[in-house]
Structure 1
Amino acid sequence: MDSIFVSPFTDYVFMQRALIGSLAVCLGAVPVGIFMTLRRMSLTGDAMAHAILPGAAFAYLLSGLSLIGLTVGGLIAGLVVAALAGWVARTTQLHEDTSLAAFYLISLALGVLVISLEHSNVDLFHVLFGNILALDNTALWLLAGIATISVLVMAWLYRPLVIECVDSSFLLVSGRASLIAHYGFLFLLVINLVAGFHALGTLMAIGIMILPAAAARFWAKTLDVIMITSILISFFGCYSGLILSFYFDVPAGPAIVLSLGVV
C-alpha cells in the first residue's frame, strides 16, 4: 500500500521535480495568499494572475517556451498592470479594484490573442494551465530563488502588513510605511504569480495562494497558526494532486487545485 503513495516519487525523476517545484511555490505563495484573504484581495489576485498573460505571450512569440523569457515577460506585465491600475485609481473616479478588473480583462484578451497567432493549441494550453510535470533543474532553481526572495521580503514586511490588516488607518498616518507595504506586497504577489505560472499556468496559479489560506481559517484563529496550517494544507494538496495526476492520467495543475478545494 505504501508503494502506491511513495513509488511515483522514488521511481520517476519528473515526479520528484514536480513535487519539489510545487512545494517551493507553496513556501513563497501561501503566506502571500493569507494576507490577500485578510485584506480581502482574493479577486485582485485573480485579476493579477491574468494580467501577466500578455507579457508571457509576447515573450513566447520572441523566444518560444524559454524559461527566462516567460519569467521576465510575466514580471514586466504584472508590475506594469499593477502600477497602471493604481495610477488610474488615484487620478480618476474609478476605484482600484474596478481599474484592475478592466486591465485584467484587456490583458487576458490580448494574451490569448497573441498566443493564438501561432495557431498552436498545445502552447496555449501550456501557458494557461502550466505543465508542472515538465519542470527541469533550471526551473527548480528559479522557483527556489523566487520562494527565497518572497520569504525574505515577507519577513521584512510582516509587521506593517499585520498592522494594515488590524488598523489600516494607523498605517496610513505613517505615510511612507504604508506605500512600502502596499507596493512591496504587490511585488510579492506578482513574483509568486509568475512562479505559479510556470507550475500551474495563469488560470490556476492563484489557487495555490487562496485555497490553503481559506481552508486554514476554518481550523485556526491566530495568524501564526493560520500560516503553519495553510502551508501544511498546500503541501498535502500538491502531493495528493500529483498522485491523482499520476494514476488517473489527468493534468497535474487542475488536480492540485481540486485537491486543495476538497480540503
Structure 2
Amino acid sequence: MHDFLIAPFVEFAFMRRALVAVIAVAIVAGPLGVFLQLRRMSLMGDALAHAILPGVAAGFFLFGLDLWAMSLGGLVACLVVALLSGAVSRLTALKEDTSLAALYLVSLALGVLIVSLKGSPRDLLHILFGSLLSIGADGLILVVATAIVSLLAFALIYRTLVVECFDPAFLRAVGGHGASAHMIFLILVVINLVAAIQALGTLMAVGLMILPAAAARFWARSVGIMVLLGSGIALGAGLIGLLASYHLDLPPGPAIVLAAGLAYLMSVVFGHVGGLARRLFPGRHLQH
C-alpha cells in the first residue's frame, strides 16, 4: 500500500509538484463548479474553456511554450469571445447560448490550426490536454496564486451569489450588488481556466469544475455542503488520476477527468438526493 499510494510522492519531485497543482485546482473547482451548475452556466463554462485555445495558440506561435505568453493570450481570447457573444445576442435575434457555441467552435478550430502551423502533434496534445507531470515552478506559482486569490474573492461574494441563485428579486429589492458579483464570478471562472491550462490543458480544465460539482448535487441539498463535497471529489479524482497516470503510464489530465467522471456516474446511480437507486427503490416512507 505504501509503494502504491505514498512512494511516488516521496521519491519524485515532479509528482509532488503535480500533487500541489492538483490540490490548488481542486479546492477552487468545488465552489466554481457548484455555482456554474446552480446558475445553469455549465455549458458556458465549457464553451469558455474551448474559447481559450486560439489565444494560447497565438502565444505559443509567437513565443513557444512560454507559460505567461500563453496564459495572457488565453485570457484575452476568452474575454473577446465572451464579449462578442454578448454583443451578437444583443444586436441580432440570435440567443446568447447559440452565439457562444458558434464562436467557441470557431475558436477551437482556429486554435488547432495556429498550433499546427508551427508546432508538432506533441505540442498540440500539450496544449489540449496539459502536462501536469512536467509542471514547472512558474506554472505551480501561477496555479497556487490564482487559487488563493480566487478563494479570497469568492468568500467576499459567496452570500450574494447564493441569494441571487435562489431569489434574485429579493436581492434587487434590497439593493444587492448582484451584477457585480456575477461579473466577479465570471472573471474567477476565466482566470482559473487559464491557470489550469499548464496542468490539465484547455479541453480538460473545465472537467474538474463540472463533474465533481454535478456529483456533489446527488449527495447534498445545502449549497455549503455541495461546495465542500465538490472540492473533496475533485481532490479525490485528482489523486486517483495522478496515481493511475504514474502506475499505468496514462496521460494525467484525461485520467483525472475520467476519475471525476466515474465519481459522477456512481453518484447518479447511488446518490441519496435524487439518485437512480433512491428513485427506483424508495423504501417505506411511513412506518407503523
- TM exceeds 0.5? yes
Q: Answer with 60-69 or 28-37: which moved more.
A: 28-37
Displacement of 1:119: 4.6
How many residue pairs align between the two structures? 263
Q: So what's the TM-score if we normalise by structure 2?
A: 0.87
Structure 2: segments with no counterpart, 5+ residues: 264-288
Cα 1:239/1:65, change in 2 over 3 Å: same
Cα 1:175/1:82, change in 2 over 3 Å: farther
Match of 1:104 in 2: 104
Match of 1:77 in 2: 77
Q: Answer with 160-169 or 207-216: which moved more.
A: 160-169
Match of 1:201 in 2: 201
Displacement of 1:140: 0.9
Structure 1: segments with no counterpart, 5+ residues: none
Match of 2:218 in 1: 218
Match of 1:239 in 2: 239
Q: Is the 8 A contact 1:18 1:133 kept in 2?
A: yes
Superposed CA deviations along residues 217-237 of structure 1, whole A, max 9, x for unmatched, are 111110111111111111111
Match of 1:87 in 2: 87
Match of 1:66 in 2: 66
Q: Answer with 248-257 or 80-89: which moved more.
A: 80-89
Match of 1:54 in 2: 54
Superposed CA deviations along residues 236-259 of structure 1, whole A, max 9, x for unmatched, are 110010000001001000000111
Match of 1:227 in 2: 227
SS at match of 1:219: coil
In structure 2, C-alpha distance between the alignment counterparts of 1:122 and 1:170, rounded to whole Å: 52
Displacement of 1:29: 2.5
Match of 1:36 in 2: 36
In structure 2, C-alpha distance between the alignment counterparts of 1:251 and 1:79, rounded to whole Å: 29
Cα 1:227/1:200, change in 2 over 3 Å: same
Superposed CA deviations along residues 167-214 of structure 1, whole A, max 9, x for unmatched, are 234445678823212221211110111122211111111110011111
Cα 1:254/1:29, change in 2 over 3 Å: same
Q: Is the 8 A contact 1:28 1:146 kept in 2?
A: no
In structure 1, C-alpha distance between the alignment counterparts of 2:27 and 2:81, rounded to whole Å: 25
Displacement of 1:20: 0.4
RMSD over aligned CA atoms reads 1.5
- Code of the aligned partner of 1:236: G
Displacement of 1:156: 1.8
